[in-house]
Every structure is written in structure tokens, then in C-alpha cells.
Structure 1
Amino acid sequence: MCGIVGAVAKRNVVPILIEGLSRLEYRGYDSAGIAVLNQGIQRVRAVGRVSEMQNKANAQQLSGFVGIGHTRWATHGGVTESNAHPHVSKGEIAVVHNGIIENHDEQRQRLTALGYLFESQTDTEVIAHLVHYHHAQGKSLLSSVQASVKELTGAFAISVISINSPELMICARQGCPLLVGIGQGENFIASDVSAVLSVTRSVIYLEDGDVGEIREDGVTIYDGAGQVVDRKVHMSDVSLASMELGPFSHFMQKEIHEQPRALTDTIEALIDDASFSPALFGEGAEEVFAEVESVLILAAGTSYYAGLTAKYWLESIAQVPTSVEIASEYRYRRSVPNPKQLIVTISQSGETLDTMEALKHAKTLGHTLTLAICNVQESAIPRASRLILYTRAGAEIGVASTKAFTTQLVALFTLAVTLAKQHGRLVDGQEQDYLDALRHLPGSVQYALNLEPQIREWATFFANKQHALFLGRGIHYPIALEGALKLKEISYIHAEAYPAGELKHGPLALVDRDMPVVVIAPNDVLLEKVKSNMQEVKARGGELFVFADADSHFTESEGVHVIRTPRHVGVLSPILHTIPVQLLAYHAALLKGTDVDKPRNLAKSVTVE
């Protein structure tokens, strides 16, 4: 993994491939390469940025009418040019690949015995040699790819070109995202629609098991049984403008500041309807929600923390028992399925492999009540779910999720209130109160964004620290978790989060003057408890950095720094308190000089286990 682009055209496709890979840079990667057909396979690869690979391609005057490109995030094998994609077999077959081939060792041994020499440490090279082996037996390129994928175990998206079939490209999908872009007398493939937006908006999302034959004058798609199938053509609504920085220095900064707009767009359907209606979740939602006895949320990373927050809302507002599980753990343990349990999957991309596989596992256990909360239309997880609620965050480019997280929280809050309404658990006027709270939320978030200068000053204290502690209580504990995650993933400062009441049961041993402690302290029923926990830190010489509501009655003192967010916004307070911890992480990373949008070792869309 991490990004794929390919093109078949009557013009030189090298500029198309390079621009497509540049559009995929946000996904995270450590090397890049392209291969084109032109009197053989011409290939350029480079460790580092796409621009470095582009310079080499320009120097070689690379050109061709059929080509594939890739940005790699190292999994099998280190960050070297020999491990970079595309991989070539015997000068005849070139392959790019996202995902993991789980049986690559077995296939490597088999192919080595057949006389194939391996030049890399990657699992991908197995695919190139396997396709070549079948092709050498007299099979067409299409048949060779179809035969090869049946021998592969794992999750993958691949694209293949051959000097023996210079007019076409073959692609295949199993578990990792891949789409076909439909042009005029030219066609494309990509792992993300952003890679083809400059050449087409018409896209076909491949299904698991699909194999595509891509020619300049048409596209034929075969399912896993080898039968020709029709797949719907979609018009992408992603804009190129959303992929540009504009006046901002980083996409993360841009996306933090886009949150009032993203929240407004996500809330708009609710406000227009003036009610929390099951219809927001799709056809049949009213019948599904009537059956629900409990909820199980499956997610990973930041989306998992959104789920932890939602548990408080679902149990306090809807009075529905709720569990939240890390998707990659759920599918590998024996659980007790309840057919009346609503399975909620949360994913920004809709392609997160851990979450997708967890959903598949839930369905094998007999779960039929499924709901996807996602930011990308027509992605895999929504397509596999009975109900869907799309957030409207717009394209999120920065690896560290910001606006996707806060819009997920709005979607989950909407779910909680809708279930409460359906089950008759809202008192008179309560629905209107919740609608009013949502209406005022974007304005409160803008107020919090205006605190950026003060938060920037705090960041100077964190930038030279090695560790930090985040504390929260109740529904704000998941926000502390999210704050710690943001700080460590983009600034590389080790950070952990705890429920503040747990401090005395171990973490307090870590507290000293070199361990800054961030406290989420809203003016809610747990405020006095939080103040007591803060005294424990202060007594050990710890330095406290407190995000408090304007009406929390905190005073600054030696070792206690306070930034006041707006007055307490009630049930939506977790969303508001997310903003300061995002800004703190961003400015600490700036001072540390890290790559804010592309933190080391991380990728935007995680399509491997």
C-alpha cells in the first residue's frame, strides 16, 4: 500500500500518473514509482516524495500510452528503491499493489522453485511472478490475473500491465479500495477518487472479487466467478478545490478551521427536517430501530474514540445498552451475538480494513441490523451496511483526523436522540432543545478556534517535552484519549490519557515537573471531582494545563494554566472540547518541525491488518 493510479489513453499518460500520485500523497507513503509500456517496460522509482520520482522521470523523458503508478508505505521490506513499486517480472509484467498477501512466503518458495528470482523483500513481487507464470502457460493477461488472484490469500488491490498486451491494463480488487475512472477515449484506475479528478468525475467502484479489463475505448468488469457484470457509474462530488491548501500552511490546519462549516453541513439535514427522523438513516430505518435492544459500535483509531463518546449518549439519552469494540480485536474473539443488536461501524474513508472485516464477521454471526457512519459516499463499508448516515466533512487530506471526528460525533449524537425518540424516551420539548443545541454548535466551535493564539503559546511548553498526560472524566474521557492520540501521532511526543479518577491508581507515579498534564474540565456534574484530581497533580509538582468552560470558576496560579472555552454547551460539550486539543497538537508539531500532514509511519486509509 498505499496509493494506486493507472491510465490507458491515446496520449502520454506519464503526466496523468504523476499528478494522480501527487493527489494521493496525503495518504502517507515513503517511496513512489511508475511504469509505462513503450517498446518494453520503462520504470522509474525513488525513495522519498513523488517530486523526486518525477525528476527522474523527466530526466529519462519517460512516456507511454499505458501505465501504472504507486506510492508505497512500507510493510514487507524496508524503505528502499528495490522495494518500491511497480515490480516487474522478467521484463514482461509490471504490477502495483495495495494490501497484504498473507501466503506470500508459500508462493515465494513455489515460484523460486520454478526459477523466478526475487529482487525485493516485498509480498508484491510474488504477484508479478505469479501473473508471469500463468501468462507463460499461454493464458491471456486477463486470464492470468484471474488465475493468480485465486491463488492469493489476503487483502489486495492490484493493477497489471504487460508488454504482450500493450493496449490494456488489468486490475483486481479483494478487500482494498479500487475504482475505475471513465473518460472519453481513455480510462483510468485509482485507489482513491482524488487521483483521477483532473481527468474524470465518472467512476465505478469495484466490488470484492472484481477483475477489470481497461482499454482506451471501454471497460469490462468480471466478478469472482468470471462472469461479465455491470457496475453502476457514479458522478463524484469531490471538488479539486477541496484538495488544495488555499491560505493555510497545512491540510490539518485547514481542516481544523473548516469544522464550523463541516458541522453546519452535517447538521443541515436535521435542521431542514426540524426533527430527529429515522429517515435520515435510509429506507427501512424506522423498522430497524424499532427492533434494537442494544448497540455494538465497531471502529478503529480516532473513530473508536468517537464510539466511546457515543456510548455515553446512547445510554443516557436513548437508554440503550451500548458496547464499543476495537474492530481488529472484535473479529478474533468469541462473542455472544444478539440478533436485536444494532451494529454500528464508523470509518472516515469507508474502506478501513479492520472495520470492514469486523462488519463481515458480525454478519456471519447473524447480525442483520447494521448501520455505517462514514464520510465517503459509495465506499465499501456503507455498501455492505443496511443503513447509512453520511457525515459531510468534505475531503479530509491530513492523516490526523479532525473534522471527520467532530462530524462523526454529530452523527452519533443524532443516532442517540433518534433512537430515544423512536423508543418514546424523550420528554416534552427535549427534541427541540437538542435541535437548538446543534444549531448553536458551529458558533461555539468558532469561538474555540479563536483561542488559537493562547493555545499556540502553550505549545511552546510542550515542544521540548518527551511525555504528556491527558485527563478527563465521564463523557470527556474519550476526548482526553483523542487529545493524547493527536499529540503523539503528529508531534511524536509520547502522550497517554486516563480517566482522572484513575490517576491515583498508578499514573500519578509518572507526574513530575517534566510531565505536563492536560485537563479537560467542563462545567458539568463532575467538575468538583476533576478539581480534586488536579490537586493530586499539583501536590506532586506537576504542571497543569486546563481547558475549562468560561463558567467553571478556575483561577490561574503557579503551575496551573487555564484557557477558557465558551460557556458550558451541555450535552454537546465533548465536540467543543475537541477543538483545543487538536490545536495544541498542531502547534506543538509545528514547533517540533515534524511533517504535520504526513506523520512518519502512518497512512490515511489503513487497508492492511
Structure 2
Amino acid sequence: MCGIVGAVAKRDIVPVLIEGLKRLEYRGYDSCGVAVHLDGELRRTRSTSRVAELEAQIASETLGGYTGIAHTRWATHGVPATNNAHPHFSPDRNGRAHVALVHNGIIENHEELRAELQAAGYEFESQTDTEVIAHLLNHLYDGDLFAAMQQTVKRLQGAYAIAAFCRDEPHRVVGARHGSPLIVGVGENENFLASDAMALTGTTSNIIYLEDGDVVDLQIDRIWIVDVDGQPADRPVRSVVAHTTAADLGPYRHYMQKEIFEQPRAIGDTLLDVETVGPELFGAEGADVFGDIDSVLILACGTSYYAGLTSKYWIEAIAQVPVAVEIASEYRYRTSVPNPRTLVVTISQSGETADTLAALKHAQKQGMKQTLTICNVATSAMVRECKLAFLTRAGVEIGVASTKAFTTQLVGLFLLAMTLAKTKGRLPEEQEADLIRSLRHLPVAIQAVLALEPQIISWAEEFVRKEDALFLGRGMHYPIALEGALKLKEISYIHAEAYPAGELKHGPLALVTDQMPVITVAPQDALLKKLQSNMQEVRARGGQLYVFADAGSNIRSEPGVHVIRMPEHYGWLSPILHVVPMQLLAYHTACARGTDVDKPRNLAKSVTVE
């Protein structure tokens, strides 16, 4: 979600701040800004346009300095507007800007703090919770910004990553984190703060990952960190090679299209070292953990939640282990029955999803200590928090709508199903070998699906004028229908819903007209006959069917029934193949409607607030 970059150096750091913001653009934002210490004063430039426009504005104002902070904001409190954009200033008694601050997260007690600060004489220029932190920090300042930050965070309730500097201490930036990622970049005669190591690519590869409750003091040649108790904290410096978001698009129009076509490579890389399955795939403690569990709880949000729903079918059928799948943002706000022998599995592309991290910690507090994450970022908070991890190798995913991260998550979850089955003595050697062969054939199978793009484009041209769509699936393909509907709505802005096909007659059939396309996932499996009956219900009401059918099925194109035939039926792994044409359908429909495919409105790539 929001992006933070901060620096203290012996050189003009504005180019570093701007480049950092550019590298964080993929996360989503609706305003941006930079503040620096210049000639004994605090100066800032803010914009509700893109970072490129902010850069041009800064150039025209000749803004520069040795100490500064920058931010991309995704609106929570207050509309996207310049006065709500970060950095926020807090003035001294003479009205001169004294403290500059940026913040990711949500402060839950901001209203009480706002009232207290207003009573103390502070005036607010924005509707944000962030300005409350700036004024509180200024109010508590007594000559030492680091000490003031330690006092400030004790008053805050909620999640935050904060970077700030003060007019009176020109070579110092302080930061704090709780529930929202913040890292330190270590340089020579310069040091940095950022919400993501990617922001510092090309500047430094030496990174310190702050932990919840940490407060950090950055000076030109010094880094000092204290923990939640105010005690000195020794956090290791790691060498991290972060990939730049400025990757060459090559022949592709958008990053989403490029990432769809990278899926064969991403899946191949994810399976690179997999010759057989076993607990060691998930970490050194895998054998102990898997041998001790009798159920699985999956926690995830959005696309990752649909990956979890798909894996429920696999794990229960192949491993015969009961599975519960929970929306992470809901799980910790209800009374549940903990089972210490449950394997808690989190799924997250970034490994920093705030709702999922909070749900994980809630499960741990309830006594469920056996934890595993399926994640795409080795250095993420989720990986550090869990006992076990399976790292997908999707590479950096820039498009907000997840594609290759989703399919590699499914691969990791299928390996989990196989491993649990093997641990429980329920995976015969011959079946294991057959499933490994099928996994290894996936990249070739997906290449054949991608070759269907011209046919899918012709469907997209029909969807341009539609405002509603239904997606249908049965069994383990119902979550794939959910994912197809999500993709269409988030990048084309067409209202789309997904249902188990058998649920049509229980209400959704009332919506069907000849103006509502009904997209159907129709694999050649045991439920196909049932699905065909549901399709006839649609045709009888004049609905238009768009069917992704497996090779060998007897579904034929006719008036009102449009069929694209998949190259082959793929058994248990069929969901991974069937999601790919739905990604392409959403992508080309969005292109035809002229939307901002890689940065859809109101959305962010990494959701680091609840």
C-alpha cells in the first residue's frame, strides 16, 4: 500500500527519494510528496498526480537537501487531495514548520489524540490520522527527536510505519514500526529508511529489517535501534538483492500481460528443486510439525484466499486432513475454537499483508504454534514469523491484479497436499511419481493455454459493452470462478460475481438476461454432467454462455453458447490451467475499455493496513 523513503546523507538526497517512490509505484497510490531540510527550513512538494509529475514540480522549484522523507499515499482518512498528502508538517509557535512526518498504517485512537492536541492549540489542515502523529511528536519534542518518537509511539493505537525529521536537528531521521513494514538501508556516510527494500535498489543492498515496536535513529554515520521496551536492539544487517520494478516490458503492453505470460517460467522456477515431496520442502522443522498436526487452518485475503479455497479440495481429497479456510480480515474478530494440533497456513504474495499477519498472530496467541507460510518474498515478515515456509519463485509482480503469484501459490499448496498425504502414509509411491510428472508438465500445458489468446481477445471485444457478468464453477473450479470474477471486476470495472453452478436456481438465475455474459469453467470431470444441466438453465432464460471446456468434452458452440476449448484435461491440477484464460479475458476486456490495467483505481498492490 503506501510507500515510504527517507534519507540522511552528505549529498542531495532528492533524486534518491524520487527514484525510491518510482520503485514503489506498483504498490498503488493516489498522492505523493517529498520534504527536505533546506537552508535551515523545512520545504515540501506534494501532488495528487503521478511521481513523474511530482519530479517535474520539484525540478521547477529546485528543491534539494541532505535530509528528507518521501511518501506515496493510498487514501484511508480523507479524500485524495494535496492537503491530505504526506509529508505532514507541524509548526512551532511562530508558525514555521518544525517537524515533517510520513506514515503508513492506521491510528485507531486518532480522534481522541486530535481532540487533545486541538485543546493544546494545534490546528489541523487535513483529515488524516497522520497529521495527528506529526503534531503529537512536535508536542512531545524537547530537543531530542529520537526520545520524542519513543514517547509518541507509546500513545499510538493501531498499525504504523513512521519516518520523521526536525528543523532543529538537520542531520537526523527517526523511524518506528508496529504492524507495518519498515526497513533501514545502510550506506557509507548515508543511511536510509524505506517501507520496501525495492525502494533502495541501486542505492544500497545492505538492509536491516526492523521488528514490531522498534524505534530507529538514523544519522549520517550512525544507526541506533531500541526495541519496544526501550532497550538497545541488535538487528542484523543482511545483503538483499531487490529486483527493480523498471523491468523491460519487451513486447507486452502492460506488466499484467507480461506476468501472465511469465507463468510457465515462474512455475518452472518454483518447482526447480522438487524431485520428490517431503516435509523438508517447507523447512528444517517440517518433519516434526507435519507429524504433530491433525488439521489445517488457512488464513488469507483476496486472490490468496481463493488459492486457499482451491487447496482445501486437494488437501482433504489427497491427504484426508480436514481443512478450514478463513478470510484473514474476519478471523480474529470472532470467537473460534483453537486446536493446538492445527497447522496454520498463511498465504501472501508480499508476506506483509496486514490482515493476514494479524490473523496469524491471533492464532499463535490462541496456542496454535505450528505455522507455515506460502509466500513470494523471502525477507518478508510472514516468513520471519512462521516456523515453516514455502517460497514461490514468481519474481517481482508489478501489476496490482495478481497472476503469476496466484498460480505459483497453487503449486506450493498442491505440494503441501502431497506432503501431508505422504507424511500420513496416504500417498503411494506410484501416485507421487505421477503427480510430480504432472506438475513438471505444467509449464508446457500453460504455454498451450496462452496460445488461445486470439480467441479470448474476440470474447473481450464482446464484453466491452457489458456492465455485469456471472462466473460459474463446480467443485475445485468454483474458487477459480471466484478468481475470474475478481480479475474482471478489479481491472475492467465490470461488476462480476461467481457462484457454484448448482446455486443458480437458488437466486442468481433471476439476474440472467441476454445482456449478462455467464462465464463457465467446464473441465472434463465427474461434475461435468451436473454443470451442463446448470448451463441449460441459463440458456432457457436467454443467457449468453461463454464456456472454457476441456478437450474431449461434448460441449459445442451454438447460438448463445460460445466455447473455447482447452488443450487438455489436467486432473487435479486443472484449476491452475483454467485460471489462465480468465486472466487473459479480464486483461483484454480492460484494455478494450481503456482502463489503467496495472494500476486500477482505488486499489493497492500490497495491503499493509487493515
TM-score category by the smaller chain? over 0.9
- Report the counterpart of residue 595 of structure 2 in structure 1: 594
The answer (yes or no) to whether the contact 1:31–1:45 under 8 Å persists in 2 is yes
- Report the counterpart of residue 499 of structure 1 in structure 2: 500
1:224-248 CA distances to partner (integer Å, 9 max, x unpaired)?
A: 1112211122222333377443332
Residue 151 (structure 1) aligned with residue 155 (structure 2)? yes
CA distance in 1, matches of 2:239, 2:269: 20
- Report the counterpart of residue 21 of structure 2 in structure 1: 21
CA distance in 1, matches of 2:600, 2:440: 34
Give the letter aligned to residue 261 of structure 1: R
- Report the counterpart of residue 99 of structure 2 in structure 1: 93
- Report the counterpart of residue 110 of structure 1 in structure 2: 116
- Report the counterpart of residue 167 of structure 2 in structure 1: 163
The answer (yes or no) to whether the contact 2:245–2:398 under 8 Å persists in 1 is no
Moved more, 185-194 or 350-359: 185-194
- Report the counterpart of residue 553 of structure 2 in structure 1: 552
Moved more, 581-590 or 420-429: 420-429
Q: How far does residue 254 in structure 1 lie from its aligned partner after superposition?
A: 1.1
After superposition, residues 184-333 of structure 1 pair within 5 angstroms as: 184-240=188-244, 243-270=247-274, 274-333=275-334
Give the letter aligned to residue 471 of structure 1: L
- Report the counterpart of residue 443 of structure 1 in structure 2: 444
Residue 129 (structure 1) aligned with residue 135 (structure 2)? yes
1:123-143 CA distances to partner (integer Å, 9 max, x unpaired)?
A: 0001111110111xx241000
- Report the counterpart of residue 520 of structure 1 in structure 2: 521
Q: Which one of 172, 181, 185 corresponds to residue 181 of structure 1?
A: 185
CA distance in 2, matches of 1:249, 1:99: 33
SS of 2:271's partner is helix
The answer (yes or no) to whether the contact 1:242–1:395 under 8 Å persists in 2 is no
Give the letter aligned to residue 13 of structure 1: I
Q: How far does residue 607 in structure 1 lie from its aligned partner after superposition?
A: 1.4
Q: TM-score, normalising length from structure 2? A: 0.98
Q: How far does residue 580 in structure 1 lie from its aligned partner after superposition?
A: 0.4
The answer (yes or no) to whether the contact 1:142–1:213 under 8 Å persists in 2 is yes
Residue 464 (structure 1) aligned with residue 438 (structure 2)? no
Q: When the two structures are aligned, how many residues end up with a matched partner? A: 604
Q: TM-score, normalising length from structure 1? A: 0.98
SS of 2:276's partner is coil
- Report the counterpart of residue 339 of structure 1 in structure 2: 340
Give the letter aligned to residue 597 of structure 1: D
Moved more, 187-196 or 144-153: 187-196
Give the letter aligned to residue 431 of structure 1: E
1:336-366 CA distances to partner (integer Å, 9 max, x unpaired)?
A: 1111111001111111010000001001110
Residue 142 (structure 1) aligned with residue 143 (structure 2)? no
Give the letter aligned to residue 20 of structure 1: G
Identity across the alignment (%): 61
- Report the counterpart of residue 372 of structure 2 in structure 1: 371
The answer (yes or no) to whether the contact 1:475–1:574 under 8 Å persists in 2 is yes
CA distance in 1, matches of 2:205, 2:521: 43
1:34-83 CA distances to partner (integer Å, 9 max, x unpaired)?
A: 00001211100011211121121111000001110000111101111000
The answer (yes or no) to whether the contact 2:266–2:408 under 8 Å persists in 1 is yes
- Report the counterpart of residue 348 of structure 1 in structure 2: 349
Give the letter aligned to residue 98 of structure 1: N
Gaps of 5+ in 2: 92-96
CA distance in 1, matches of 2:251, 2:121: 55
Give the letter aligned to residue 303 of structure 1: S
CA distance in 1, matches of 2:429, 2:415: 18
Q: How far does residue 122 in structure 1 lie from its aligned partner after superposition?
A: 0.5
CA distance in 1, matches of 2:27, 2:579: 23
CA distance in 2, matches of 1:255, 1:204: 29
After superposition, residues 383-462 of structure 1 pair within 5 angstroms as: 383-462=384-463
Cα gap change, 1:83 to 1:242, in 2 (>3 Å)? closer
SS of 2:539's partner is helix
Gaps of 5+ in 1: none
SS of 1:596's partner is coil
Q: How far does residue 19 in structure 1 lie from its aligned partner after superposition?
A: 0.9
CA distance in 2, matches of 1:429, 1:519: 33
SS of 1:4's partner is strand
CA distance in 2, matches of 1:119, 1:530: 57
The answer (yes or no) to whether the contact 2:180–2:608 under 8 Å persists in 1 is yes
CA distance in 2, matches of 1:188, 1:227: 22
SS of 2:273's partner is helix
SS of 2:272's partner is helix
CA distance in 1, matches of 2:293, 2:330: 24
1:434-470 CA distances to partner (integer Å, 9 max, x unpaired)?
A: 1100110011011111111110110011111010000
